[in-house]
């Protein structure tokens, strides 16, 4: 099947994550180098994630071949996963579908519903790891969905941006202005690309990310929109912790924000879990790496006391969805959690 050409002279919008999904798209984990010494614990956690997602919406999963599909089905069966789960033979270097998957837009205007898949360039967070297969995933997703695909000659990962569906986008200077992404582009150039490619009007720039994040500071470990005018943002009250100052600085920036209609941004604080360190390496454990599906919110769990506090914040934001916490202390050794693994397909 060949996907249709991109429609011309149409206006598209990047929907918010909480808007209705047709499905969630994933890439099955297989790169043992991403979880050295812990890979055997990762697939069962991943299967539990799929089980929860499949109660909410159809799930599509990239696998390399029939052998990987059989392995995945084995773990899904052990986890009791049921529902509409479809496998696609789309090979990947790794499991982080948020960053290598297509970003799907919807056509603006009443009575319209056409979608457009954006194929941004992917370079494994500045050339840190192999990425040849991952960089080819987005157009294959579009072809499988039967929707037009548009190539964007711009290095961008899905975890580097977050939006409210109404023209405002969040990102970080640490990631997008890093010379390992688009060194030829200025901050103003990048803002213009966002406006042209994603149809947004307002770009909110935060500063640095959290310790242990090999993406150079993805926004989905720091601050996320939960409604058109509300964000949740990570805080670290311990002044001796290396995350305290960067997170406090980001909160200060958010307090100065006025949305396009003049409203102040509403800010809810998410607690930080206690530091997690494996093999003398701190990992980027963050409650901001949750994923909003149609009927559930998947939240990574790290420590009982802070898990409860974070879940209460998210439950207040999504009263019509169940907040489901899954222990991610093994999964985060790969330096990512649920939002990093998922890519929503707007309905």
Active site residues: 340
Compute CA 344 distance to the chain's CA centroid, rounded to the nearest angstrom.
9
Residue with tokens 């002044």: 239
């Amino acid at each position: 099947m060949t996907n249709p050409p991109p429609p011309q002279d149409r206006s598209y919008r990047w929907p918010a994550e909480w808007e209705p999904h047709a499905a969630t798209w994933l890439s099955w984990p297989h790169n043992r180098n991403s979880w050295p010494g812990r890979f055997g614990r990762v697939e069962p956690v991943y299967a539990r994630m799929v089980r929860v997602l499949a109660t909410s919406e159809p799930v599509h999963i990239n696998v390399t071949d029939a052998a990987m599909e059989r392995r995945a089905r084995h773990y899904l069966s052990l986890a009791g996963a049921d529902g509409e789960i479809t496998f696609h033979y789309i090979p990947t270097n790794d499991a982080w579908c948020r960053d290598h998957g297509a970003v799907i837009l919807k056509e603006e205007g009443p009575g319209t519903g056409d979608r457009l898949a954006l194929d941004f360039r992917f370079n494994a967070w500045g050339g840190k790891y192999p990425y040849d297969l991952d960089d080819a995933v987005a157009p294959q997703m579009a072809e499988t969905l039967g929707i037009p695909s548009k190539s964007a000659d711009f290095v961008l990962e899905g975890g580097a941006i977050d939006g409210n569906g109404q023209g405002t986008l969040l990102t970080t200077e640490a990631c997008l202005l890093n010379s390992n992404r688009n060194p030829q582009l200025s901050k103003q150039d990048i803002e213009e690309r966002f406006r042209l490619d994603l149809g947004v009007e307002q770009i909110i720039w935060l500063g640095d990310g959290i310790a242990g994040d090999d993406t150079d500071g993805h926004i989905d470990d720091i601050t996320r929109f939960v409604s058109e005018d509300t964000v949740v943002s990570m805080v670290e009250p311990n002044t001796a912790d290396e995350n305290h100052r960067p997170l406090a600085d980001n909160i200060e920036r958010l307090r100065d924000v006025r949305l396009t209609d003049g409203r102040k941004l509403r800010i809810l604080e998410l607690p930080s879990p206690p530091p997690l360190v494996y093999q003398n390496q701190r990992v980027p454990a963050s409650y901001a790496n949750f994923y909003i599906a149609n009927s559930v919110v998947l939240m990574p769990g790290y420590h009982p006391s802070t898990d409860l506090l974070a879940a209460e914040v998210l439950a207040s934001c999504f009263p019509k969805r169940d907040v489901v916490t899954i222990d991610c202390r093994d999964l985060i050794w790969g330096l990512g959690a649920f939002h990093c693994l998922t890519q929503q397909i707007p309905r």
